[in-house]
A and B are shown apart, each in its own frame.
Chain A
Amino acid sequence: MKNIALIIFITFFVISCADFLEEDLSTQVTSESGALSDVVGLTSALAGAYHPLTATWGSGLGNASTQAILMGGDDLTTHKASNKADFREFDQFKIATANGRLPFVWNGAYKSIQGSNNIIANYQNAKGDEAAIRQIAGEAYFLRAYNYFWIVRLWGEAPLLLQTQTFTEDVLSVSKSPIVDIYAQIIADMTFAEDLLGNIKPAPGRVCKGTAKAMLAEIYLTMAGWPLNQTSNYALAASKAKELIDNEATYGLGLMDDFAQLWPSATQNFDGNKEEVFALNFWGGDWYNGNAAYGLAARPGEENGWDDYFSEITFFNQFPEGYRKDVTFQTQLSDGTPWQEFMTQRPYYKKLQGPKQDWQNAVSMPLERMAEVYLTYAEAQIMATGNTSDASALEAVNKIVRRAAGLPINTPDISVDWTSATQDEIVQEKAWEFAGEYCRWFDLVRLQKVEEVLATKDPNDLQPLGTVTYFLPLPASETLANPNLAD
């Protein structure tokens, strides 16, 4: 009996510790564990705030869904008769809310905003090197503004959330904020970022004061057009762009001399070049962090590509012949088959094909190139001054034009230089320069030229099936969870 008593004793009193049923959180990072209380923690949080933009098949811009949602523009189309129904819906203005390509940018932007909110809520109490903290805080404000800029341009009215770092149930019943309010927040955040950020990017995949200035210029330019039509912003856009153009050494940002050197080839890699005002960088070491928007997505099926996106026929035909066109497009297969005989009968974007036949690319995805700052400046300057012969605006355009022709960038050349420029002409030049690059659709929308361009479609291209709209529908996941967001 005494033995038994001993065993019972052991059972009840040795094993039964008081905290037996307490959850062990000792290995978990939580808000209570002070994760964001110093520079190291903030740096980790910053990586986590950028991450959603590059989570290849999870969220963000790292797969061809980015091209898909911009297919309303005339520079992009997709396969007519394959498994690309989700792409076609965007090209044909008949977008279902359950379209699997629709949520990538939306989800990536808001997850990044959540991470930014978290840093913004914590950085002031963090300990450590003040300059480092200012840089990180600046990047958080930058990311919040930048992501809302994508949201407001693609979806218009949307939830404007500045506190999502902690989930509360009332988030599920918020309403959309007016476009003008979202822009106001974007300008406020980006201006804050401009103040906080350092002059030079700490790493190729991060941002600096110059990046904020470039974005402010582009945001002002966009606000000057539809739907806000605040034309007074042209002047602000021009001045912000100029601050960057005139201070190449300060910010380390400028034009590359050769258009071909913007894109990695099989032999040479130009990642991190000075034209990258803002470029997403990718690890590429695993399937979940590679740039899959480039590579196989942009290659023809004949070369094991995925045929996700390529050029519309009219756009290609009107594209001025020359060096830039040659760099931009793949027009034949290795065996010499011309694009007219490709399965899809369209030319492909060679510049986006990546250096190797792969989708898991560790190559830059430049979202903002210095060339856009120059062209933004030119357009904004001309619109602000009303002077189509403004010398500084013309020089800004001409650098791009000369490079496109394969000529020295800073040497005036009468054979290509423009002597006057209208807004339409500059925007068209942007179309060629940024063919396939997250620019054309936004220009067409803010200048309300979508229908005009659609009218020039080749009859053999995919035609609109629905009413042409400038904004995307909200993904079904959003309205299902929060009916207040339904129109």
Chain B
Amino acid sequence: MKKNPHFILPVNWRITKLLRTMKLLTFLLFFSLVSVSANVLSQTKISMGLENVTLRQAFDELEKQTGFKFFYLDEQIDGLQLVSLSLNNQTVEEAIFQMFGQDDVKYKIFDNQLIVLSKFENPSEKQGIRISGTITDAVSGEPLIGVNIIFEGTSLGVITDANGKYNIEIPSSSGVLIFSYIGYNTERIDISGQTTVDLQLAPDITSLDEVVVIGYGTVRKSDLTGSISVIKPGDYKEQPVSRIDQILQGRISGVNVTNSSGAPGGNLSIRIRGANSINGNNDPLIVVDGFVGGDLKTINPSDIESMQVLKDASSTAIYGSRGANGVILITTKSGVKGKQHLSFTTRFSTSKVLSTYDLMDAGTFATVNNERTTAMGTSNVYTDAQIAEFKANGGSDWQNEVLRTGTGMEYQLDYSGGNEEVKYFISGNYLNQQGIIINSDYKRYSLRTNLDAKINTKLSANLKVNFARLENNNTNGNGNTSAPLAGAVNWAPTTPVRDASGKLTPRDPTSSIKDNPVELALNDHIIEANSFTANGGFNYDIIKGLNFNIGYGISYGNSQIKDFNANLLSNNPDANRGSIESIFLQNTNTLNYSRLINDIHQITLTGVFEQQLLQTDKFNARAGGLTYPAFGYDNITLAASLSGSAFKEKQSIRSFIGRVNYSLKDRYLLTASIRSDGSSKFRGDNKYSNFPSIGLGWRISEESFMDNVTFLDNLKLRGSWGKTGSQAIPVYGTVTTFYTGSYEAAMSFLNGTTTPGIIVGNPGNDNLKWETTEQFNLGLDIGIIKNMFTLEVDYFSKKTTDLLLNEPLPGYSGGGSIYRNLGQVNNSGFEFSLTARVINTKNLNWNSNLNASFLTNEVKSLGAREQIFIDPDYGAGLTSVPEMILRPGYGLANFWGVNYLGVWHTGEETEAARYGQVPGDSHFEDINNDGVINFDDYMIIGSAIPATLLGWNNNITYKNFTLNIFFQAMTGFDKWNFTYGAAILGSADARQITHSDILNRWSPTNENSNIPHFSSTDYPVIQSSRFLENGSFLRLKNLSLAYNLPRNLINGLNGSVMIGATNLWTLTKYSGTDPEAYSTQGNGDAAQGGDAGAYPNSRTWTFGINLVF
């Protein structure tokens, strides 16, 4: 670790500033420096004898004896000669005189206990020279703010200001200045008489000396043994990023970010190296500034300094029982010492749907459906006159009714700065996005204050406060057969949206059996989530290398739920009002010891004790049959029926952690850790579990035999093994409780009323224990030609055992399910990340990153079960059999249906007749060949888990222009298009066919069609492979151009403007609106990939301006 440079400031300024700092800290941290002594200076007599000690040691002794505190800056005493003290009942003043001589030092005394020393009152009197200059980015030419400049061999240093300028006094006219900046190559310049040194720093692509945040500590990237990916703002600053998933998506190998909902603020799924758990949560653990269990949605992306994704067990095992799904560490920004920095960003965007379903117009629809009724032998729905009128006047375009052009705006203001003692970062953000479906919108308000304070040379403190409010309206969840978009493809174009008086048509007489899609879209489903998080603590350097850190965190969450459904169809408007309040407390105590022994053994020991407590309180009130629907959820007492519920739960974790990092000669690396977690969710011997890990690294490129291989800058082999866990069961999993909710237990003994009840709930299993994931990782890092190309390759193999499986119990035993530790899931795969500086000239630069991940996911065992059905019920009302199944030998998410073989063709009359069918009817595979297509013919027909992920990110800079081109691809998975199925079958939620594909249906003259003709002997099955489609896609996720305004455009003002497009182009065979989005009806990863009116992602254009003052 480099020493921090310090400013040299006049003594008076420093003292007042220090005092201000002290007051601030006192106020902020509720922390008072306890008064040790009230003695006046002269009354304290000292007797001691010291021979040839450093000044620091001398002060330490004096502090011990007197109780006074001495404040001084390191650089003032470092390097000064040793002193001897001989005091015999003398005062502190005399001691200081002995140490410095009368003229060399000034001191002041505060509150009779603080002695603040200043050696150089007027530095200009001292011999030396002044050097100044400007530091810029070698690539962009932009000034670099906060570059460290140190005079070699001393601790004299400064940093550059907002214009990249610096000014340093050094005591000699010769020597070396060291210019360093995180993410850039460090430069050493021999000054020899120069007074102006301007420098261009080149970005350090590999950043081997970069410090990487790991759990409960940091490590040099070159010392890493685990698989950790780092993202910094520089990787995405040219792109319109307003959510963290936009940062993570496609940029890191092994990380799958899927926007399952395209709604603003909508659902997304993040999977690191596949999904382990069948029933448990597979979301990675989010750690924000050491606070475990954060929520990505509450973090303003602009506040992020860096993100680390921990993938292998050597990195994640330190998080023990919650590390099994990988960990995302987020470090938020701190102020930087130096000039104040004020930055303002605003962005405006418009969004449109990627594509719509090709539905028939009213005239065609009416004609086709008359053909259908004729073929089915029933009477026509429309008269010729009606059809003529529809052809002349058109009908309803339901997709157009529920879709719109969404708009968005975002304002971001941040202010930072600091000095020796205090650094601050304050940031405010407001985001307001309208979705592409009417009445769906998202607002985010966030305010963050990060403070870092250095109380004295040993003690520092920090506090990070974040408030976020998220307002989601109709952007939660992600569609089902009752979603507006599902309704829009089901409602007949011949049905008017509204009647003559402007009232919404409550029911579709022709096609859909569900509510008017416009009504559905206009219903409110609001969640207003407020989250307040404060975390911080103290860091104390006990002795050199030994450091104690104590951290506290508190997070308060309050979500208000407001729902209203007009229910025009049943004329039974209902409303729901709920509240969820949670409080989460964390205390982390870390002892860190780091030492370099004999110049070759670098050893770091870490010990942690941590406790966490989460308490959640919920209540809910629900009203049916509102007397005054206009009151909505705001006044629900006037209703035909009212029900309420309240719920409280508490869970806690206590952890002990130990870790050793050892590096020998900078080339042989070892990391070993163990974490012991105790959880309130488990009982007896299962309460605690241990999670060990070990990681080894070999920096082959540092070996002497590699000295001749000059093109190879870095070659490192990494290997790791470890265990992580998941405690992904709800509370009370070990106890049998009675359910008391009206849904579970209430009974009506008189129609229209309820009597509350209790009913035996799911049986508890007091033998439950952690789900354990054992992971092996082998990695290779290569950097060649001055790190122009760097390649990281990883192979991993994960085995998750003792799966916390929510095993369904047979109905005769009382039904429900029981949590058990059963079965095994394996994930394995390869990951590649190739980074290249393809072009690197003064004016033109092209940096490119290509990453790829290949995943194999397999359920190895389900205990004694041969298979387990999962019923997410995407096709609610369309299907009655579970749509997904788990079976050993297959992946985690398998579609269960009949296999569609196309239509029976001419010439197959005999075969078709066996099923009572004729050519042109649907032909399904009859597995047991019993002449009937029924549930016995269901089979696994596809998998929803992508096998391959690709990301290709390019930043091309020409002078002041930066172009970003970012492609993302996911391949090797299937999607179930229930939306299309409903529109083309005409026998489910849509009773008539609305999709244009029907015009190409089979006929004796259109033998190649796979779309069945109209027939009373046809057997339509939506849960068939006919509607299972290849979901693979390649997408131009981002295309943006930024222009850096000329420097100092107006009086110190800098900035940039950008224009960008998201999801501009997609290559896919998927016939739905968006291959990425899917309906999320079920829980867990075993239920994914069905699209029934899912909220699609949109094509968004963004214009943005950034100004820096």
Contact = CB atoms under 8 A, between A and B. Distances in A.
A360 interface: yes
Contacts of A288: 742-743
A280 to B, nearest CB: 8
A48 B622 contact: no
Interface string B625-650: 10000000000000011110001111
Interface residues of A, number: 106
Interface in A95-132: 96-101, 103, 106-107, 110-111, 114-115, 118
Contacts of B756: 44, 47
B382 to A, nearest CB: 14
Contact of A480 (B643, B867, B1022): B867
A458 interface: no
A231 to B, nearest CB: 31
A274 interface: no
A4 B548 contact: yes
Given A272-B751, A283-B746, A478-B810, A29 B758 contact: yes
Interface string B715-736: 0000000000000000110111
Contact of B379 (A16, A284, A341, A363): A341
A285 B624 contact: yes
Contacts of A205: 747-751
Interface stretch (A18-26, A247-255, A419-427, A439-447): A18-26
A98 B927 CA distance: 15
Contacts of A232: none
B602 interface: no
B679 interface: yes
Nearest to B765: A167
B763 interface: yes
Contacts of B888: none
A271 B932 contact: no
Contacts of A106: 811-812
A99 to B, nearest CB: 6
A47 B755 contact: yes
Interface stretch (B312-320, B352-360, B813-821): B813-821
Given A54-B748, A272-B751, A158 B379 contact: no
Contacts of B808: 477, 481
A281 B611 contact: no
B38 to A, nearest CB: 16
A171 B751 contact: no
B379 A167 contact: no
Interface in A447-487: 465-466, 475-478, 480-482, 485
Contacts of A22: 680
Contact of B934 (A89, A111, A203): A89
A28 B734 CA distance: 13
Nearest to B865: A480
Interface in B928-948: 931-932, 934-936, 938
A485 B812 CA distance: 11
A46 B650 CA distance: 30
Q: Which of the listed residues B379, B867, B936 has the most CB atoms from chain A within 10 Å of its own CB?
A: B936
Interface string A338-379: 000111010000000000111110111000000000000000
A46 B681 contact: no
Contact of B654 (A20, A59, A282): A20
B550 A81 contact: no
Interface string B867-893: 101000000001111100000000000
Given A96-B935, A286-B624, A51 B550 contact: no
Contact of B748 (A81, A283, A358, A466): A283
Interface string A42-79: 01111111111010000100000000000000000000
B828 interface: no
Contact of B745 (A48, A159, A286, A475): A48
A115 B751 contact: no
B810 A21 contact: no
Interface in A1-17: 2-4, 7-8, 11-12, 15-16
Contact of B936 (A96, A282, A465): A96
A167 B734 contact: no
B991 interface: yes
Contact of B34 (A3, A107, A357, A475): A3
Contacts of B192: none
B1020 interface: yes
Contacts of A466: 932
B900 interface: no
Contacts of A478: 810-812
B812 A289 contact: no
B758 A45 contact: yes
Nearest to A106: B811
B540 A4 contact: yes
B47 interface: no
A98 B935 CA distance: 6
Interface in A266-303: 271-272, 281-286, 288-289, 301
Q: How large is the interface on B (under 10, 10 to 19, 20 to 34, 35 or more residues)?
A: 35 or more
A83 B681 contact: no
B813 A164 contact: yes
A200 interface: no
B751 A98 contact: no
B813 A85 contact: no
A461 to B, nearest CB: 13
Contact of A477 (B570, B648, B736, B810): B810
A172 interface: yes
Interface in B121-163: none
A36 B578 CA distance: 30
Interface in A211-268: none
Contacts of A204: 749-751
A20 B622 contact: no
Contact of B812 (A45, A161, A271, A465): A161
Contact of B754 (A12, A283, A345, A482): A283
B751 A282 contact: yes
Contacts of A481: 808-810, 813, 865
A20 B587 CA distance: 13
A447 to B, nearest CB: 28
Nearest to A280: B748
Interface in A196-210: 202-206
Contact of B751 (A21, A159, A271, A480): A271
Given A30-B735, A30-B736, A306-B513, A51 B812 contact: no
Nearest to B574: A286
A107 B815 contact: yes
A82 interface: yes
A4 B538 contact: yes
B815 A343 contact: no
Contacts of A27: 647-649
A392 interface: no
B573 to A, nearest CB: 12
Interface stretch (B11-19, B94-102, B1011-1019): B1011-1019
B814 A164 contact: yes
B76 interface: no
Contacts of A82: 987-988, 1020
Nearest to A364: B751
A356 B507 CA distance: 14
Nearest to B877: A83
Nearest to B1015: A81
Given A23-B735, A101-B880, A358-B570, A115 B759 contact: yes
A94 interface: yes
Given A86-B881, A106-B811, 14 more contacts: A20-B652, A23-B731, A27-B648, A48-B739, A59-B811, A59-B815, A89-B934, A101-B880, A107-B811, A111-B815, A283-B746, A283-B752, A475-B811, A482-B810
11 contacts: A4-B540, A25-B737, A45-B758, A46-B757, A47-B745, A47-B758, A48-B759, A81-B1016, A99-B881, A111-B815, A206-B749
Closest 8 pairs between A and B when the two form their complex, measured CB to CB? A285-B641, A47-B757, A96-B935, A100-B880, A48-B759, A167-B763, A48-B757, A107-B811
